[in-house]
Amino acid sequence: MADDHGYQAISACGSRFIRTPNIDRIAREGALMQNAFVTNSICSPSRAVILTGKYSHVNGMMDNGTYFDGKQQTLPKIFRANGYQTAIVGKWHLFTTPTGFDYWNILPDQGHYYSPHFIKMGKDTIYKGYVTDIITDLAINWIDQHKNAPFFLMLHHKAPHRNAMPPLQYLDKFNDVKFPLPSSFYEDYTGKPALQRQSISVKNDLDIRYDSKIPCDSCPVTQINSWAPGEYQKELAGLSLEQRAVWDSAYEKEYEIFKTLKTKDEVTRWQYQRYLEDYLRCIMSVDDNVGRVLKYLDETGLAKNTIVVYTSDQGFYLGEHGLYDKRFMYEEAFRTPMMIRYPQAVRPGNRLKEFVLNLDLAPTLLDLAGLKVPADMQGESMKPLLMKQKVKDWRDEIYYHYYEKSFNLTAHYGIRTRRYALIHFYNPVDAWELYDLKKDPTEVKNVYNDPHYKDVIATLKIHLKALQEKYRDDMKK
C-alpha cells in the first residue's frame, strides 16, 4: 500500500502523467478494480477500515486525531490464529502499538523520507538511506525468513505523501514535461460552500519551502501551514552532506526560475508543476520497489501461491478542483487504486466494473485463504468477482462518511451510484450537493437546487438513509 497514491498516477488506470510498469504488472497478471472506493478518505481511518473490515464509526477510528483500539478483532489477528506468521513494515499511523503481528517495524507518525527513524518491536531504530528502499528491504528480508510457512505481510510505504521528497536518482525526471492543468483547476466553487472555505488548494495553500523545496526566507507563511518551513528543515536533516549537495543543486535551479515569476497566477502554475514533478518522482521509486518484491517472489517460486494486493489508503487530488490532498467525496479522493494478483484463482487481465470498497479487502483475503469471514465484518468478499462467477445483488451504491475539520474542511456523508453523487456537508457548513455524473463527470456543477432533479434527490435520500441503517451509522457520533 502506498500513501496518497491517486489512481490518476497509475498507467494501468489510464494515467496521462506517468508509466508504472511494475504496478501495472499486478493488474495485467491479475484483476484491476476499476471502481474501487474508500469509506472515509483520510489516512488513519482508511487503514483501520482495511484492518477491521468495518466502517469508521464501528471500528472507532473516525479521524487522524484518534487512537486505534488494538484490542478489537483485526485481519492479522485472524490470520495469526490460523497459523500464519504476520508482519507490518513501514507506515502504521494508528498511534497505538500494533497488535496481531509477530513482527512490526514501523515509522513513527508520518515518518521521514531520508535516514528515517523506525520503531522496531518497540525499540527506536534509525536506517540510512531512502525510506521506500528501506521499507522494501525490511519486507523482503522478513519474507525470506518466513517463506516456508504461511505468511501475511502488510508492506506500507510512506511515499508519495506530502511533502513528496524524491530519491536523488529521480531529481531531474519530468523537468522537460509540461503538465496540463485539469479542466476544473480554476473552478470558482459556485454553490459549494464547503469548498469555498477549505485550505487545501494549490493556489493558496502549498508552501514554497516544504512543498516546492525552495529556500525562500522572504516568502510568506500561511497560517494553515505555519509549521511547514520548520518541518522542511527537519526533513533535510536526514540527508548526508553528499546527498544534500545533490539536492541543493537540483532545487537551486528551481529557485532561479521561481525568482523570475511576476504574478500570482504564474506562481500558482509553477507550484502545480513542482508539486506534480516531486509527487511523480516518488511514485517512480514506489514502482521500482514493487518490481523488486515481484522479482523476489518470482525468483523464490512464491509468486504462484501468493496473493499480491496493491492499493493506496485513498485517492488524491492532482489539481482537480484546484486541490491537492484528499478528504472530500469528489471522485479523485473517493476513488482508490486497487488490484489483486493470485494465479491460482484470478485470471490475468480481469477487469472489474463493480463497486468495491477498501472495506472489502479483509473479507476477500480471508475468503481466498479458505478462512471463515467473521459475521460482523461489514465488507463483502470479492472472491466471486475475482473468479468471474455470477454474483446476485452485488452493491450498486456506496456509502461514504468523512468526519475531520482540519484544514478548514467540513464533515460530510453521502451516497454514490452509477450516475449520481449526493453529498451532505453538516459540520460546520450545512449544505447539500448533487452531481449528475453522466452529464458532469468532473463534478463541477452542483444541481441540488435544480427542480429537474427533485425526484432523483428524494429517491437518493431514501437510499442514503437505508445505507446508514445497514451500516449502523446513527449519525450521533
Question: Looking at residue 78, what is its pLDDT?
Answer: 98
Angle at which helices 241-258 and 264-300 cross, to 10°: 140
Is the residue at 226 inside a domain?
no
35 and 158 housed in the same domain: yes
Torsion angle of alpha carbons 435, 437, 438, 444, nearest 10°?
A: 70
What is the tens place of the pLDDT at every residue in 410-468?
999 999 999 999 999 999 999 999 999 999 999 999 999 999 999 999 999 999 999 99
Residue 477 pLDDT class (50, 70, 90 cuts)? very low
361 and 413 housed in the same domain: no
What is the tens place of the pLDDT at every residue in 335-351?
999 999 999 999 999 99
Is the residue at 353 inside a domain?
yes
Assign residue 462 the CATH number of its domain.
3.30.1120.10
284 and 345 housed in the same domain: yes
Domains held by the chain: number = 2
352 and 331 housed in the same domain: yes
Mean pLDDT value across the chain = 96
What is the tens place of the pLDDT at every residue in 146-189?
999 999 999 999 999 999 999 999 999 999 999 999 999 999 99
Is the residue at 253 inside a domain?
no
**Closest of 61, 267, 64 to residue 161, by C-alpha:** 64
422 and 347 housed in the same domain: no
Answer for the pair 477, 57: CB distance below 8 angstroms, yes or no: yes
Answer for the pair 123, 103: CB distance below 8 angstroms, yes or no: no
Number of neighbours of residue 273 by Cβ within 10 angstroms = 18
Residue 413 host element (H or E): strand 411-417
Q: Once rounded to an integer, what is the mean pLDDT over residues 267-276? A: 97
Choosing from 336, 360, 394, the residue where a domain stops is 394
What is the tens place of the pLDDT at every residue in 71-95?
999 999 999 999 999 999 999 999 9
Is residue 254 over pLDDT 80?
Answer: yes
Is the residue at 95 inside a domain?
yes
299 and 344 housed in the same domain: yes
Give the C-alpha separation, 33 to 160, whole Å: 21
Chain center to CA of 88: 17
Residue 223 pLDDT class (50, 70, 90 cuts)? confident
Is the residue at 176 inside a domain?
no
Is residue 381 over pLDDT 70?
Answer: yes
If you write DSSP's letter for every residue of 271-296 in order, what string do you get? HHHHHHHHHHHHHHHHHHHHHHHHHH
- State if pTM tops 0.95: yes
What the block records as the C-alpha cell of 155 is: 508492506
Choosing from 372, 394, 416, the residue where a domain stops is 394
Instruction: Report the percent of the chain where pLDDT is more than 70.
Output: 100
Query: What's the domain range around 424?
Result: 398-470
312, HSE (Cβ side, Cα atoms, 13 Å): 29
Is residue 302 over pLDDT 80?
Answer: yes
Please provide residue 82's backbone torsions phi and psi, each rounded to the nearest 5 degrees. -110, 25
Assign residue 13 the CATH number of its domain.
3.40.720.10
What is the tens place of the pLDDT at every residue in 95-138?
999 999 999 999 999 999 999 999 999 999 999 999 999 999 99
Residue 476 pLDDT class (50, 70, 90 cuts)? low
Residue 475 pLDDT class (50, 70, 90 cuts)? confident
Is the residue at 263 inside a domain?
no
Is the residue at 37 inside a domain?
yes
What Cα–Cα distance (Å) separates residue 347 from each residue in 28, 107, 302, 350, 352? 9, 35, 17, 6, 12
Answer for the pair 150, 85: CB distance below 8 angstroms, yes or no: yes
135, amino acid identity: I
Give the C-alpha separation, 24 to 294, whole Å: 12
Choosing from 394, 416, 432, the residue where a domain stops is 394
